[in-house]
Amino acid sequence: MTLELKDPTLLQSHAFLGGEWVAGSRTFPVLNPATGEKIADVADLTPQDVATAIDLAYDAQREWRNRTAKERCAVLLKWNDLLMENQDDLGAILTAEMGKPLAEAKGEIAYGASFIQWFAEEARRVYGDVIPGHQADKRIVVIKQPIGVVGSITPWNFPNAMIARKVGPALASGCSFVGRPAEKTPLSALAMAVLAERAGVPKGVLSIITSSDSKGVGLELCTNPKVRKLTFTGSTEVGRILMKQCSHDIKKLSLELGGNAPFLVFNDADLDAAVEGAMIAKYRNSGQTCVCANRIYVQSGVAAAFAEKLAAATAGLTVGNGMDQGVNIGPLIDTAGLQKVEDHVSDAVSKGARVLTGGKRSDLGGTFFQPTVLMDVARGMKILSEETFGPVAPIITFETVEDGIALANDTEFGLAAYFYARDISTIWKVAEELESGMVGINTGLVSTAEAPFGGIKSSGLGREGSKYGMDEFLEIKYLCMAV
């Protein structure tokens, strides 16, 4: 298929290794999930290529870290500008390889760029400390220094933003970066690299390694001693493997892993606002985000009314190719994703759940699934214990505030949680008792560059975005000086 781009050079199929565009000796195809058509054959690099990229990143980092923060800031701001100038093309590439509606894809480009911009600005505010000494002749000074070479592994659901959230603070702090995008969505990452090069990111400071060998590349990033930090977004299962692999030389780790977000609606909530929030929290990216509302708990006094409103709004969504005007729900990423969603729905229905709207594959075929609302969902159904990663909203009724909190916390995960209520005591109680890294209160959208994104329990380690996100790429060094 041909993609109509204003700047066709943004569609790169070579990998970006240490500042050179390399073809590799093999390729792998990238397919459009809406049509099944091939978009490109992309360089399939090897673990040995990764080792080369790491060597180059190691050497380049010596020079990059010694630039002033103002100089690094200028390069990153230029990169941000170029990303925004090319938002339409980058959005089109993203929709083509990942499937999300074009408006959402362009939104992701702006969201991703906002992390490059935020961390460009933060580069100049990496302050240390001077601490009163413990003895009369001692001075204690704390400085922060970039960790070194950073390895990154990212998933397909946000092919731009997941990388931007990592590469922004890495480069701003003076680290270099070797990233492996998901094999399903390497084109957005390569387009970012085209613009990074134009913005003046020095050779070697950034590599984008496209490869179908996730395990081999992952192992090299985890075990190469020149890599001092690994940052990963993906499943808890793979996070566990990477954590083990990184234990050999005690690499620093940031892990953004699976979620199973609860969305609670209490009796005193503004129901229309709650429905609006649920639509965003549930159906963004066709339900394929780790912060998507996966379990919707509604207090008994408003359960029937909420379910009716949510089902009506859901029935109004348009399913289709993300490139088409007015589409809200694109295809699921692949057949395995589709089968999981279908399995969760049929398991729930076989155990007594009622389908209020949707419930099956779309007539469009492919990996399209109808946006679905299920009522009378109960404990023991797979849909409550596993991440569905699709456009299905399961509603569970609860009685008291305490019951709602207990149900919400009944999971090994702790990434995002959302709730709608108006009573101020309920709001504080629920906000404090929910076991999750992020809580949306009367809102269904919490992600932004200014705030710390991350999870607790099996949802991960570390934070992305905000001043805390910068610390993940810095080491603290304490200088004790006798005078």
Does residue 30 belong to the site contacting ligand ADP (CB under 6 A)?
A: no
Does residue 46 belong to the site contacting ligand ADP (CB under 6 A)?
A: no
Does residue 45 belong to the site contacting ligand ADP (CB under 6 A)?
A: no
Whether 256 sits among the annotated catalytic residues: the reply is: yes
The first and second tokens of residue 314, run together, are: 């859901």
Does residue 52 belong to the site contacting ligand ADP (CB under 6 A)?
A: no
Give the shortest CB-178-to-ligand ADP separation in angstroms: 13
Give the shortest CB-264-to-ligand ADP separation in angstroms: 26
CA distance 64 to 60: 6
Which helix (H) or strand (E) element contains residue 180?
strand 176-180
Comparing CB distances to ligand ADP, the nearer of 87 and 235 is 235
Does residue 461 belong to the site contacting ligand ADP (CB under 6 A)?
A: no
Return the residue of 91, 99, 112, 155 that touches ligand ADP, per CB under 6 A.
155
Return the residue of 218, 330, 358, 462 that touches ligand ADP, per CB under 6 A.
218
Does residue 50 belong to the site contacting ligand ADP (CB under 6 A)?
A: no
Sole residue written with tokens 């041909």: 2
Comparing CB distances to ligand ADP, the nearer of 193 and 395 is 193
Sole residue written with tokens 């009506």: 312
Binding mask 227-266 for ligand ADP (x = CB under 6 A): -------xx--x--x-------------------------
Non-local (6+) Cβ contacts of 456 within 8 A are: 414, 435, 436, 437
CA distance 179 to 215: 14
**Residue 222 to residues 44, 177, 441, Cα–Cα distance (Å):** 19, 13, 37
Structure letter (DSSP) for residue 97: H
- Confirm if 446 and 293 have CB atoms less than 8 A apart: no
Catalytic residue among 97, 104, 256, 464: 256
- Confirm if 63 and 56 have CB atoms less than 8 A apart: no
Give the shortest CB-323-to-ligand ADP separation in angstroms: 23
Give the shortest CB-258-to-ligand ADP separation in angstroms: 8
Give the shortest CB-180-to-ligand ADP separation in angstroms: 6
- Confirm if 378 and 399 have CB atoms less than 8 A apart: no
Does residue 151 belong to the site contacting ligand ADP (CB under 6 A)?
A: no
Question: 191 in the Ramachandran plot: left (φ > 0), alpha (ψ -120 to 50) or beta?
Answer: alpha
Stretch that binds ligand ADP, among 53-61, 127-135, 153-161, 305-313 (CB under 6 A): 153-161
**Residue 240 to residues 106, 207, 254, 267, 385, Cα–Cα distance (Å):** 32, 25, 12, 39, 19
Which helix (H) or strand (E) element contains residue 79?
helix 69-85
Binding site for ligand ADP (CB under 6 A): 153-155, 182-183, 214-215, 218, 234-235, 238, 241
